[in-house]
Copies of this chain bind each other. A is one copy, B any other.
Amino acid sequence: MWDLPKTVHLMEVGPRDGLQIEPTILTTDQKLELLDAIAEAGVREIEAGSFVNPKAVPQMADTEAVFRRLRRHPGVTYRALWLNPRGLDRAIAVGTVDLDGRLQLTASEAFVKRNTNRSIDETFADVPDWIARYRAAGVAPDCLGMMAAFGCNFEGDVPVDRVVSLVARAEAALLAAGSALKQVALADTMGWATPDRIRRMIGTMRDRWPDLSIKLHLHDTRGTAMANAMAALAMGVREFDGSIGGLGGCPFAGHKGAAGNICTEDLAYMCEEMGIATGIDLPALVRAAQMAESMLGHPVPGKVMKGGLLPRRLAA
């Protein structure tokens, strides 16, 4: 199958997923400068921080300040991450977060236990509460994030059928509460996906939910992220997360086993060169990646920012 979409939508997650593991903690001013540069490059959705425990993730401790001082660019949606009701309450309280009604699940029992000391079943027990909270905040609960959707370092392969049954269970809970599931974001949290797995997963999901939007959150832990994105693009997938410079676990900074996100500008470059419109000003996004690299003070894995855009694109 080779059914490339005409356009793609890329969400920039570098300011959250990218910065959260960096030993250098950026100042709020630096983060705001970076957010400006990303928005000026034409990115239309940015994850700007997370409302998690500041002791566990000190890099995100100023997320309230970031959102309070946010210089909003027209047409840009500013997202944040939360993992428990307290985090959502903080996001609501700050007032400038573009809330989405996301249920967060994990496809690996070992990983969810390790991360939250709860089982998958216990996660499901909270779903009605999440639905109620989102509604109280004026947000439709209609999307689902699925971590470790392709495999888990602590458990092994995650079968496609398990993901499908978890999605079906979440959909049933939403339907029972009078909501509909519109999007599933499949996260390859630990870099287990291959193009073949992507193909099987998306094919199976499409067979069951032809109208469901599928988004991919890919990590380049084992070098397959761009090939995985390609396999998804060839099936018409139009939504991806990415991180400028490939931030998100820099193997060159000695974060053992950490996994960089797929590099936003590399993915955008590949799309644009294949005639898939991203809405992104590539030279401007490369500059934003270079700014991040300079702020962090170590080389980042992005390739286009080092190898250079094609001369004809620079001249255009």
Interface residues of A (CB under 8 A from B): 1-2, 4, 151, 153, 156-157, 191-192, 194-196, 199, 220-224, 226-227, 229-231, 234, 251-252, 257, 259, 263, 266-267, 269-270, 273-275, 299, 301-304, 306-312
Contact = CB atoms under 8 A, between A and B. Distances in A.
Contacts of A263: 223
B251 A252 contact: no
A184 B158 CA distance: 40
B274 A196 contact: yes
B223 A270 contact: yes
3 residue pairs, one from A and one from B, having the closest CB atoms: A251-B306, A223-B266, A223-B303
A221 B307 CA distance: 5
Given A194-B274, A195-B274, A222 B252 contact: no
A257 B307 contact: yes
A37 B232 CA distance: 36
Contact of A223 (B153, B231, B251, B304): B304
Given A1-B2, A307-B259, A223 B302 contact: yes
